[in-house]
Chain A
Amino acid sequence: MEILAHRIPEVLPAAMSVAGCRHHFPLLRQWVNGKPLVYLDNAATSQKPQVVIDAMMRYYESENSNIHRGVHTLSEKATQAYESVRGKVAHFLNAASEREIIFVRGTTEAINLVAFSYGRKALGPGDEVLISALEHHSNIVPWQIACEERGAKLRVVPMDDRGELIQEEYAKLLTSRTKLVALTHVSNALGTVNPVREMIAEAHRHGIPVLIDGAQGVPHMPVDVRALDADFYAFSAHKMFGPTGVGILYGKAELLESMPPYQGGGDMIKSVTFEKTTYSDLPHKFEAGTPNIGGGIGLGAAIDYLNALDMKAVMAHEHDLLVYATEQLGGIEAVRIIGTAPRKAGVISFVMEGIHPHDIGTILDAEGIAIRTGHHCAQPVMQRYGLPATARVSFAFYNTKEEVDALVKGLHRVKEVLG
């Protein structure tokens, strides 16, 4: 019964307090290398609350079956459970319809889907795709491949030294050749929050659709795709307290309808003969093959969990952590913070004079502190600062000021070992 005491009730109370939520995450109770775990690598992946783990276990224990295919009871149960998540996602993003919600493997697959389906149709020689200097490799490489294939060009909105996109340059780069803009909502490497609403409006003035990479957006702020007027919005479940292997592409129905399928196979067809295949309607047209059903159900539970949180309190708490950690790290001689945009999410990239980030990561790990070191799948951002790598801490709402204090102590230990 010890364990059950930690589980939160099936029906989540409205607006759980942030401080009370940490114990919903069983993994955070762990000790690592003889120290209580301080998990500060949430931008890579977040931890999962017990309700998400339970929902997936329940599915495999009592509902597992293939969907959309059987008349038997289990298949109907599984289909119903899986499809109900589509409705939850639509509601979570304030999409106009469930038809606009496509299940994918994650942000990476969502962007590839748009690059190869929309890109193939819309791009021709001399056309341009506009991305930004802050993008993750997954919002660069698919566009490079699509552009190369179609004889189109990739253009990049530059950023300033603080890690903010330069809006005057953005406005200049939007031309009649631009066929799509693809921008990150929040930079995973620096934490910069882009003014995506304004940037989408600017692109729309030229009639250009916009894809938003929301991988680092949804875990940290409420997202309303209609208020943003995003044409596509992509995210991964695993960064928002759900499981790996599942994510969402939101797309406006009229755009999705105009696009050719991305992959062919079962589930995405109405009828197949060797001469001709007619495709399913949205959203199934883009969902070939057996999907990650268990993962989808986990995503549904993660959304229920997020809905039960007071997002205003979450944002306030993460902002407090950011401000506190920025002050504390700034107080350590030798630490230099990379990325100082005025609007930032809970991400701090930093370097230490004369000490390589990799060594910082190893020494902190020995203190039970998990951070990310390296290029964060954003090599162009690193190149912009002339750095091969940074150390990065990234917060979720379950982190605490005490953990920031442990980090600061850990960094003093780094100096002591390598000084």
Chain B
Amino acid sequence: MSAVNELYQEVILDHNRSPRNCRPMPDATKSVEGFNPLCGDHYTVHVKMRENVLADVSFEGAGCAISKASASVMSSEVKGKTKEEAERLFRDFHDLVTGKVDADEGFERYGRLAAFAGVSEFPARVKCASLAWHTLHAALTSDDPRVTTE
């Protein structure tokens, strides 16, 4: 498979075409805007916390296929998880897209996130893939209503 086909895997194409959880959330407990000033990708991530659990997660905005699919997959993966579990997934995802995971070990344990392993071959696209995750991270850990990749 070519590097381009590795990058644009079926999971990514599917989530790009029909993103999950792409909707406003009037009763969100936290909403953070994430922005990549270099390419204009722009998402708002909404979270509804119940105790320590991410009871609901959604996003709105626009950007490239990689950033949109990532926001979509992220929202599905972290929903129902505790804050600590969500943060651990963020670290796993970051390791995957920055090439810190040995391909020989296989990506099985990363589940649906494994679809983003191809991003590590495209350093210019790492920021696209991680934008929504950084935004979620900010929603869970800081008071900042806005984050950028720069």
Interface check A272, CB cutoff 8 A: no
Interface size class of A (residues with CB under 8 A): 10 to 19
Which residues from A are CB-within-8-Å of B38? Answer: 374
Which residues from B are CB-within-8-Å of A335? Answer: none
B115 to chain A, nearest CB (A): 15
Count B interface residues, CB 8 Å: 23
Contacts known (A382-B40, A417-B8); A359 close to B66, Cβ less than 8 A: yes
Which residues from A are CB-within-8-Å of B68? Answer: 356
Judged by DSSP, the binding face of A is helix
Contacts known (A382-B40, A388-B41); A362 close to B63, Cβ less than 8 A: no
Contact with A along B61-104 (1 / 0, CB 8 A): 01111101000000000000000000000000000000000000
Q: Is the pair B39, A362 in contact by a Cβ cutoff of 8 Å? A: no
Interface check A58, CB cutoff 8 A: no
Contacts known (A356-B63, A359-B65, A359-B66); A417 close to B39, Cβ less than 8 A: no
A309 to chain B, nearest CB (A): 34
Q: Is the pair A417, B5 in contact by a Cβ cutoff of 8 Å? A: yes
Question: CA–CA, A362 to B122, complex, Å?
Answer: 8
A361 (CB) vs chain B CBs: closest residue: B124
Contacts known (A373-B39, A388-B40); A362 close to B4, Cβ less than 8 A: yes
Residues of chain A whose beta carbon lies under 8 Å from any beta carbon of chain B: 355-359, 362-363, 366, 373-375, 382, 388-389, 417-418
Please list the 7 inter-chain residue pairs (A to B) with the smallest Cβ-Cβ separation, ordered nearest first: A388-B40, A356-B64, A358-B64, A366-B4, A359-B65, A389-B40, A359-B64
Residues of chain B whose beta carbon lies under 8 Å from any beta carbon of chain A: 2-5, 7-8, 13, 16, 38-42, 62-66, 68, 122, 124-125, 128
Knowing that A358-B128, A359-B65, A375-B40 touch, tell me 5 more A-B residue pairs with CB under 8 angstroms. A362-B124, A363-B8, A366-B2, A373-B39, A388-B62
